[in-house]
């Protein structure tokens, strides 16, 4: 029996690019020759809602339903509805990249109707003065959409949000009661749009198995609405949930009402659980012989967790390349919501999502879910296979941008991927998450940049060495400073995840962390950042062993539905919430390169202690580094071109000697270095041998030995000006 699979991401995640879970599943099923259709219902609902017909129906609905407009802002938007109807299709087309000339009109004052979101217009010259018309127009168009969103929230559906829907119902929902009650109510306006799209797809595909990926709390309500409609109208279709939300939140699920909507809920890596579900659904296996992997289902009126298959999960090398076919890749919307360089990358542009490694190679951070397989089980993919997948996706999607969504990409694997990209002469753009560890030397950062890496994000977390040790981060603030300097010098943007309110964190440490962050931005080695308040999760060391970290759980009771976020009491008694506004306001200014001379007290409306961090702490950390210590096993690679060599005779005070003049041409300029003839001939030959295109990779010890077979004093030669010049232009020690 043919088992047709239909996999969806329910509303809403991102507007600019598909969430990759269904693409990963479809890629895996391709390796099993199993037919699968996928859809991102989030973008499809948005495109139907934000269209001339969609807004016409929306404004008509607000009239017919006698919705009382509650604010002057909503009244203004309703009064300007004809202007919104006239402009909406053109604006959406512009944000899809199909109508770039509209930017000139959008940047004028008389094209877009403006409501409350445009109150921040005075900041636009500051934010976009040097960024060009297209970016400014994207931001204005985003404000325009957010105005319409405000109207929807106030007058149509208060659960609406561009990247989430009814998120409140999914966040910390220990009980299923509130969500279950919401699902018993009549479908909302947004629900009707969603169900209309879903109905057409189900009728066309007629699947045997309906897969719903739920990555975030903001997808949960829509997931249940989709499952509910399918169960009511096509009861023979089996419905399964997987994804990040059940993986973290539903591990202790016991409420049988959930299975009025779903037949199965699978945890962790989905390939093998799905493979077994398909075998079971095909009906070729007797019911008493059916086996499952990490799967919840209803049996004899109760929720059971089946993990009785002895088969091991598929290796990452065998799960296939993500397949984005079926998705509306040319219809996603690039927006610029806030002026943060890294957040802009999240919401602007289409990115193919890939992973270099499953899990985290570090796997020790005490705030992280390191007890769960998605972190705990570390399995890297070979560099050649990663780049094969990049080439495959580039060919199939026409997009050469890649976001590696690793928990923390391994430096050694990043190096090999970069070398492989350069060897294959690929023109790609990529970015990823890292740990700020010392492996990221200046040379490695130059290599990553040369391969197309444009940005990295990493956790500085709490910029305090005591707390970094308690977190078991494995880095120090000085080390972070050097790594961010190396990336910045190479031209790679750096974003730092920052944390406040970690257990036992004192007010003094919070202020000292702010001073560290101020100095990093002032030194120009950090370009983007975001402060997050610490949240305790059930599967992190802090959540599992709170007594070790000076906190007390408020309740030990395990809910029957979602269990991840834990309310706790910090024994310090400090109200960390009050620091939120000052930390975020200061960071906003630091990202714009201003206000470094402000006293830290100026960011807070309550008394804070003076920082104990010296004003030159980061500057001294950057200067305190040994540049003359190279490991003999380090790889030496030349990624530049071969030089034009000229030889000439030089004389002084009656003495003559032969010299070499080597001229190199890189993409930006030509430059010349001079050496003795013997050194020049050796250098020309060795650059050819160590060129990245060659199969053999030479170590630093081998290069030194090759030099010393013909000359002496290698160190004097290697650390002199000519080689230093080449080190800045593609002679890399990795």
Cβ atoms 294, 253 nearer than 8 A: no
Evaluate if residue 324 carries a pLDDT over 70: yes
Task: Find the mean pLDDT for residues 247-266.
Answer: 96
Q: pTM of the prediction?
A: 0.91
Q: What percent of the chain has pLDDT over 90?
A: 78
Nearest to 658 by CA among 645, 677, 644: 677
- pLDDT tens for 14-29 read 899 999 999 999 999 9
Longest dimension (CA), the chain: 103
Query: CA-based Rg of the chain, rounded to a whole angstrom?
Result: 29
HSE-up of residue 319 (Cα within 13 Å, Cβ side): 27
Point out which residues pair with 566 in neighbouring strands: 536
The whole-number pLDDT of residue 172 equals 59
Could you tell me the CA-to-CA distances from 567 to 371, 546, 649 in Å, in that order? 19, 11, 78
The whole-number pLDDT of residue 63 equals 85
CA 530 to chain centre: 13
- pLDDT tens for 154-210 read 999 989 988 777 767 766 578 899 999 999 999 999 999 999 999 999 999 999 999
Cβ atoms 292, 272 nearer than 8 A: no
Mean confidence (pLDDT) of the chain: 91
**Six-digit token string for 193:** 């749009």
The burial of 553, by beta-carbon neighbours within 10 Å (0-12 exposed, 13-18 middle, 19 or more buried), is given as middle
Evaluate if residue 625 carries a pLDDT over 80: no
Phi/psi of residue 419, nearest 5 degrees:
-60, -40
Place 457 in a pLDDT band, splitting at 50, 70 and 90. very high
Nearest to 474 by CA among 531, 583, 483: 483
Nearest to 658 by CA among 688, 642, 681: 681
Task: Find the mean pLDDT for residues 335-358.
Answer: 83
Cβ atoms 27, 323 nearer than 8 A: yes
Cβ atoms 456, 446 nearer than 8 A: no
Q: What percent of the chain has pLDDT over 70?
A: 96
Point out which residues pair with 497 in neighbouring strands: 459, 530
d(CA 512, CA 599): 12
Among 118-127, 302-311, 602-611, which stretch is predicted with the lowest mean pLDDT? 118-127
d(CA 614, CA 356): 39
Q: Report helix, strand or coil for 242.
A: strand
Among 37-46, 169-178, 489-498, 503-512, which stretch is predicted with the lowest mean pLDDT? 169-178
- Give the H or E element holding residue 239: strand 238-242
Evaluate if residue 140 carries a pLDDT over 50: yes
The whole-number pLDDT of residue 655 equals 85
Task: Find the mean pLDDT for residues 623-632.
Answer: 76
The whole-number pLDDT of residue 69 equals 62
- pLDDT tens for 85-114 read 999 999 999 999 999 999 999 998 789 999
List the 493-500 sheet strands across, edge first.
Answer: 352-354, 401-404, 429-434, 453-461, 493-500, 528-533
The whole-number pLDDT of residue 664 equals 95
**Six-digit token string for 130:** 């040097």
d(CA 456, CA 404): 10
Could you tell me the CA-to-CA distances from 213 to 12, 41, 308, 424 in Å, in that order? 11, 11, 23, 35
- Give the H or E element holding residue 304: strand 302-306
List, in order of start, the domains of the chain with CATH numbers: 5-42+165-318 (3.40.50.2300), 68-155 (no CATH), 341-622 (3.80.30.20), 635-733 (no CATH)
- pLDDT tens for 197-242 read 999 999 999 999 999 999 999 999 999 999 999 999 999 999 999 9
d(CA 415, CA 435): 14
Cβ atoms 377, 407 nearer than 8 A: no
Evaluate if residue 556 carries a pLDDT over 70: no
Place 1 in a pLDDT band, splitting at 50, 70 and 90. very low
Q: Report helix, strand or coil for 700.
A: helix
């Amino acid at each position: 029996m043919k088992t047709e699979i239909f996999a969806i991401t329910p509303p809403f995640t991102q507007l600019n690019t598909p969430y990759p879970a269904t693409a990963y599943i479809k890629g895996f099923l391709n390796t099993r020759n199993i037919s699968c259709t996928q859809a991102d219902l989030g973008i499809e609902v948005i495109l139907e809602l934000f269209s001339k017909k969609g807004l016409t129906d929306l404004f008509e609905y607000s009239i017919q339903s006698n919705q009382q407009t509650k604010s002057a802002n909503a009244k203004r938007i309703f009064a300007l509805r004809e202007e919104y109807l006239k402009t909406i299709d053109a604006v959406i087309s512009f944000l899809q990249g199909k109508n770039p000339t509209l930017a000139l009109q959008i940047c004028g004052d008389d094209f877009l109707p403006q409501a409350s979101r445009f109150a921040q217009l005075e900041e636009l010259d500051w934010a976009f003065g040097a960024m060009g018309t297209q970016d400014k127009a994207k931001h204005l168009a985003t404000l325009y959409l957010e105005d319409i969103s405000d109207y929807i929230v106030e007058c149509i559906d208060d659960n609406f949000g561009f990247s989430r829907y009814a998120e409140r119902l999914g966040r910390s929902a220990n009980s299923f009661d509130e969500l279950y009650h919401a699902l018993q109510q009549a479908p909302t306006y947004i629900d009707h749009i969603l169900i209309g799209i879903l109905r057409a797809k189900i009728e066309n595909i007629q699947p045997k198995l309906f897969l719903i990926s739920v990555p975030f709390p903001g997808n949960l309500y829509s997931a249940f609405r989709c499952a509910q409609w399918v169960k009511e109208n096509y009861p023979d279709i089996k419905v399964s949930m997987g994804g990040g939300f059940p993986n973290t939140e539903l591990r202790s699920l016991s409420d049988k009402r959930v299975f009025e909507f779903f037949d199965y809920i699978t945890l962790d890596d989905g390939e093998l659980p799905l493979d077994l579900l398909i075998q079971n659904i095909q009906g070729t296996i007797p019911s008493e012989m059916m086996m499952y992997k990490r799967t919840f289902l209803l049996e004899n009126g109760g929720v059971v967790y089946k993990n009785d298959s002895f088969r091991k999960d598929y290796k990452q090398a065998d799960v296939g390349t993500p397949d984005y076919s079926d998705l509306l890749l040319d219809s996603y919307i690039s927006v610029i919501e806030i002026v943060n360089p890294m957040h802009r990358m999240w919401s602007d542009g289409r990115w193919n999502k890939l992973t270099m490694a499953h899990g985290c190679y570090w796997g020790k951070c005490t705030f992280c879910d390191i007890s769960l397989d998605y972190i705990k089980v570390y399995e890297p993919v070979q560099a050649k296979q990663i780049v094969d997948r990049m080439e495959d996706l580039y060919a199939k999607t026409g997009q050469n941008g890649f976001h590696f969504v690793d928990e923390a990409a391994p430096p050694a694997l990043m190096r090999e991927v970069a070398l492989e990209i350069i060897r294959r002469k690929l023109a790609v753009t990529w970015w990823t998450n890292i740990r700020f560890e010392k492996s990221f030397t200046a040379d490695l950062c130059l290599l990553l940049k040369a391969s197309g890496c444009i940005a990295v994000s990493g956790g500085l977390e709490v910029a305090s060495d005591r707390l970094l040790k308690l977190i078991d981060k494995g880095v120090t603030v000085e080390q972070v400073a050097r790594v961010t300097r190396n990336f910045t010098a190479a031209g790679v943007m750096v974003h730092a995840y920052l944390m406040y309110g970690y257990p036992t964190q004192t007010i003094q440490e919070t202020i000292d962390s702010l001073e560290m962050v101020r100095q990093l931005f002032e030194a120009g080695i950090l370009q983007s950042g975001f402060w997050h308040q610490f949240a305790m999760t059930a599967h992190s060391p802090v959540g599992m062993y709170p007594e070790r970290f000076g906190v007390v759980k408020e309740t030990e009771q395990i809910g029957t539905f979602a269990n991840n976020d834990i309310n706790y009491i910090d024994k310090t008694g400090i109200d960390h919430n009050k620091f939120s506004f000052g930390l975020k306001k200061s960071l906003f200014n630091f990202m714009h390169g201003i206000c470094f001379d402000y006293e830290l007290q100026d960011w807070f409306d309550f008394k804070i202690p003076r920082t104990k961090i010296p004003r030159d702490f980061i500057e001294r950390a950057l200067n305190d580094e040994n540049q003359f210590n190279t490991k003999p096993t380090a790889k030496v690679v030349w990624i530049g071109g071969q030089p034009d060599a000229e030889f000439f005779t030089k004389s002084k005070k009656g003495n003559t000697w032969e010299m070499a003049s080597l001229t190199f041409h890189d993409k930006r300029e030509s430059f010349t270095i001079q050496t003795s003839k013997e050194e020049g001939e050796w250098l020309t030959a060795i650059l050819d041998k160590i060129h990245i295109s060659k199969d053999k990779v030479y170590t630093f010890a081998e290069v030194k030995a090759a030099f010393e077979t013909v000359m002496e004093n290698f160190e004097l030669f290697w650390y002199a000006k000519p080689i230093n010049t080449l080190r800045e232009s593609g002679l890399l020690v990795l």
